[in-house]
Structure 1
């Protein structure tokens, strides 16, 4: 007996970014999901019904009057495993927040028992307007996941926050939300800070001391946190990866730049996860011009100076109830070194993993032991970095104080 395909309702509202939803639809159908597209009537001005039907393999309607005998305005929401609206315009967010039922999509939103995700897309002024912000807050308070838009080029010459995130990243949100189900929003209302990548410490204008961190683990942590309902600030050092949908990305280069960005974001955060590989040392003397190779002499030694210990500083500055997670990349005596680091840093959890040639850095998989200041010991066998990320957030969520009522 074959298992039922996950049922997704893809809602599309009337924004220029509707064409990007075609790529999201393609990814959903090709990965084995049964997708029913429910566009608003005006959305069909941007992408027509034949396109949605051809890509989904299902009939498309925007009207409650089509197929009345099947009661589509109730059936679609009741039978869905996920309702995902992309793009969600300011108008659609307002209608959803106020419980209007003036079309098939808004009716579906009112009857859905499953997780609901909105991916807003609009001009910056509309996104930042107090009315839109209030509507977003209302939807989040009711249990919906509202993915913050990306910053970038909008229609015309405008740029700023309001751009629909990349469809591949929206697909990752959909996949994670489906995997966790209706009870997966344990980070709703929380602000988390994640660091990712590897810092670079300049020697001269063209050379640096760095490491092999790709940022994959930190980005997996950011993606899974968004899918669990969190507001995510991602401090990324020298990462060549697409921005995770819904995360506010702060790019940095050096350890000191990361320190400033993390400490600034951590002040109002419920949890901080330091997954980045931060350089312990930097050149003590920066050369303002490129160091030339002398044919007849050996290069001068590079003196090193210690960088600030960001994890330890977070432990000293922590706010009441804040959960702090560190990472320890070790090559030898992995657990012994990890326990010693946990005791020194003052963090609640320490993710300890072994690194080396073709191990962890730059790979899609990871294995680790998560040590707790309370004496706990959680082993995570080798698997996708997302699996480790989910375990980390499980342990964080269990340690968070109850959220304050609004």
Structure 2
């Protein structure tokens, strides 16, 4: 799936990250997309309209009018297949969230009938401020797609979250987003079971044993399958994240035992199962009814092994069912992933390592290697979890053709 013939309207607000849009426009034009650019006056201080006009092969608009013409903001918002605002500054974010309209970019945004994507860029303290997060939530409530910020060196000289996604990442997000509606429904009529998130193993009424999984990867996989026509059942551990409306059924669970029971029941008539959740290997032997009080200098907590969901499904799966597991390792990654592939009767193992910066729990990006039952391997690069999900689902489709 390419960007050929797609109409992309880019809105640039005032941020040092605007320089990256030069390369983004070049990438999109090379993929045969039609690109138009509108900028805030502040953005013109960071990147030249002449450069962007030359690369996009279209005039770049900054003002609502000049001495000779008027910029038809209504027409622009109706022309595009998608409007991408990148970089999205903290100031422009606030204006969008509250409906302000004091420049051409905002006039186009407020009159746009096409989907809207945004790629924020700001310093870490601004990014984490409650007002910023509230404004982002407001944009999400409008149905806008947020391209996650990245962690790295910032313009202030600090290191942290707030960097705008790289042009290659944004181009990939655009490709996936624009091809969603045109995706082949190649999993239509198939039931897909997916697990995501952590499990919490209760110690007493106020404490539990858990892990740092956010559920982002599993939810992205669930959304990808659903967009491609599958009847998705998502068994979701405790997380603040929620799947998009395309996912048909979500079963919320807390413990490994609850996740096990849900999977055993749903697996019977499913075609594909992807076990992406970070399930606890052990659970407290005794769950106290009252809060455990501090006594003495230490405490011994007895743990018992939880049921192995992947192995249990592997033991009962039929020849037509496809079973995919995940392996998150800190050492001997390949060795342990291959052991899991063989011992759990899985058809594919998705391995990611905590040694890779930007991959693993809580991040918006991931880097995985796929191991197949036939001995093949597929090494991926660091990319958004949405893009990784597409790679995983495409790999599952190849297994159905084998």
1:298 corresponding residue in structure 2:
297
1:213 corresponding residue in structure 2:
213
Q: Secondary structure, in 3 states, of the residue corresponding to 1:217?
A: helix
Verify the 8 A CA contact 1:204 1:290 in the aligned structure 2: yes
1:229-288 deviations in Å (ceiling 9; x for gaps): 211111110111133222111110000000111121211211000000000000112111
Q: Secondary structure, in 3 states, of the residue corresponding to 1:264?
A: helix
Q: Secondary structure, in 3 states, of the residue corresponding to 1:226?
A: helix
1:168 corresponding residue in structure 2:
143
Verify the 8 A CA contact 2:359 2:382 in the aligned structure 1: no
**TM (normalized to structure 1)?**
0.57
1:359 deviation in Å? 4.4
Q: CA RMSD in A?
A: 3.3
Verify the 8 A CA contact 1:191 1:268 in the aligned structure 2: yes
**Following the alignment from structure 1 to structure 2, what is the Cα–Cα distance between the partners of residues 375 and 330?**
20
**Following the alignment from structure 1 to structure 2, what is the Cα–Cα distance between the partners of residues 232 and 249?**
8
User: Equivalent residues in 2 for 1:109-124 (5 A)?
Assistant: none
1:380 corresponding residue in structure 2:
380
User: Equivalent residues in 2 for 1:125-164 (5 A)?
Assistant: none
TM-aligned CA distance change 1:384 to 1:55, over 3 Å: closer
For this pair of structures, how many residues does the alignment match?
Answer: 260
**Following the alignment from structure 2 to structure 1, what is the Cα–Cα distance between the partners of residues 182 and 366?**
27
**Following the alignment from structure 2 to structure 1, what is the Cα–Cα distance between the partners of residues 144 and 392?**
21
TM-aligned CA distance change 1:169 to 1:272, over 3 Å: farther
1:52-81 deviations in Å (ceiling 9; x for gaps): x986747x9xxxxxxxxxxxxxxxxxxxxx
Q: Secondary structure, in 3 states, of the residue corresponding to 2:368?
A: strand
2:237 corresponding residue in structure 1:
237
**Following the alignment from structure 1 to structure 2, what is the Cα–Cα distance between the partners of residues 326 and 232?**
17
1:318 deviation in Å? 1.1
**Following the alignment from structure 1 to structure 2, what is the Cα–Cα distance between the partners of residues 288 and 178?**
52
2:133 corresponding residue in structure 1:
none
1:223 deviation in Å? 1.3
1:197-217 deviations in Å (ceiling 9; x for gaps): 000101111111111100010
1:289 corresponding residue in structure 2:
290
Unaligned runs of 5+ in 1: 7-24, 33-52, 61-82, 85-164
User: Equivalent residues in 2 for 1:166-315 (5 A)?
Assistant: 168=143, 176=176, 178-179=178-179, 182=182, 184-247=184-247, 248-294=249-295, 297-315=296-314
**2:84 is equivalent to residue 31 of structure 1:** yes
Verify the 8 A CA contact 1:176 1:224 in the aligned structure 2: no
**Following the alignment from structure 1 to structure 2, what is the Cα–Cα distance between the partners of residues 235 and 258?**
7
**Following the alignment from structure 1 to structure 2, what is the Cα–Cα distance between the partners of residues 308 and 166?**
39
TM-aligned CA distance change 1:293 to 1:208, over 3 Å: same
**Following the alignment from structure 1 to structure 2, what is the Cα–Cα distance between the partners of residues 169 and 307?**
40
Verify the 8 A CA contact 1:194 1:272 in the aligned structure 2: yes
User: Equivalent residues in 2 for 1:341-352 (5 A)?
Assistant: 341-352=340-351
**Following the alignment from structure 1 to structure 2, what is the Cα–Cα distance between the partners of residues 243 and 337?**
30
TM-aligned CA distance change 1:249 to 1:176, over 3 Å: farther
**Following the alignment from structure 1 to structure 2, what is the Cα–Cα distance between the partners of residues 170 and 367?**
22
**Following the alignment from structure 2 to structure 1, what is the Cα–Cα distance between the partners of residues 108 and 388?**
37
Verify the 8 A CA contact 1:215 1:239 in the aligned structure 2: yes
**Following the alignment from structure 1 to structure 2, what is the Cα–Cα distance between the partners of residues 313 and 169?**
40
Verify the 8 A CA contact 1:267 1:319 in the aligned structure 2: no
1:319-368 deviations in Å (ceiling 9; x for gaps): 34110000001000100111111111000000011126974100001111
**2:367 is equivalent to residue 367 of structure 1:** yes
TM-aligned CA distance change 1:213 to 1:171, over 3 Å: closer
TM-aligned CA distance change 1:175 to 1:195, over 3 Å: farther
1:167 deviation in Å? 5.2
Verify the 8 A CA contact 2:324 2:350 in the aligned structure 1: yes
